């Protein structure tokens, strides 16, 4: 009998697209989250916002701050606070390495994606360095010039068919 690799099912809940625009993203890690039951149910409905979220090291742990998970309607009085800090679950060596990198000048931790992997809530965090206004403008110019080149190539192909 041959052992088959278990396929992982990934269901994306929220993405932080703004992070790619505002930051240069470096190393990435996958972390678990400590959540309440009403938070998990709200996430299954897709009620999450990563836009203002960031990761903060506190002592020997990492916390996800400003992740907004909307209240679950069915929880009534036993619900959760939408903006509470949530603990991230990583191996000790990873936490130590990440904390050391964050202490370096100009680095921060940004959540880039929130998703369910095999039924467990996960967050992808990236080591990021803020882009200057000039860097952002250059990225926009580069993107626009790439689009113009692609359009010109597509037009030329259409003409010579």
Rounded CA-CA distance 157/150 in Å is: 11
Q: How many helices (H) does the chain have, and how many strands (E)?
A: 4, 9
Distance CA(1)–CA(41), nearest Å, equals 39
The predicted pLDDT at position 4 comes to 58
Establish if 101 belongs to a structural domain: yes
- CA–CA distance, 135 with 139 (Å, rounded to integer): 6
Task: Give the residue numbers spanning the domain of 78.
Answer: 10-130
Residues 32 and 104 in one domain: yes
Please state the domain count of the chain: 2
What does the pLDDT read at residue 3?
A: 55
Q: Do 65 and 101 share a domain, yes or no?
A: yes
One domain, residues 100 and 31: yes
pLDDT tens by residue, 86-143: 999 999 999 999 888 888 777 889 999 999 999 899 999 999 887 777 777 887 888 8
70 and 146 share a domain?
Answer: no
In a domain, 16, yes or no: yes
Note whether 136 and 122 are same-domain residues. no
Rounded Cα–Cα distance for residues 79 and 70 (Å): 10
In this prediction, residue 5 carries a pLDDT of: 61
Please indicate, yes or no, if residue 108 is contained in any of the structural domains.
Answer: yes
Model's pTM, two decimal places? 0.75
CATH number of the domain at 100, please. Answer: 2.40.280.10
Distance CA 148, CA 142 (A): 10
- 1 falls in which pLDDT band (50, 70, 90)? very low
């Amino acid at each position: 009998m041959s052992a088959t690799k278990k396929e992982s099912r990934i269901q994306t809940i929220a993405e932080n697209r703004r992070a790619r625009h505002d930051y240069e993203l470096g190393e990435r890690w996958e972390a678990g989250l400590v959540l309440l039951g009403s938070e998990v149910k709200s996430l299954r409905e897709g009620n999450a916002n990563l836009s203002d979220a960031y990761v903060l090291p506190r002592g020997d742990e990492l916390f996800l701050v400003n992740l907004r998970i909307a209240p679950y309607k069915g929880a009534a009085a036993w619900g959760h606070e939408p903006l509470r800090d949530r603990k991230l679950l990583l191996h000790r060596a990873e936490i130590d390495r990440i904390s050391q990198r964050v202490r370096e000048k100009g680095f921060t931790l940004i959540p880039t994606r929130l998703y369910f992997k095999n039924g467990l809530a996960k967050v992808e965090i990236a080591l990021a360095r803020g882009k200057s206004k000039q860097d952002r403008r250059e990225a926009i110019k580069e993107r626009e010039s790439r689009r113009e080149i692609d359009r010109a190539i597509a037009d030329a192909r259409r003409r010579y068919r």
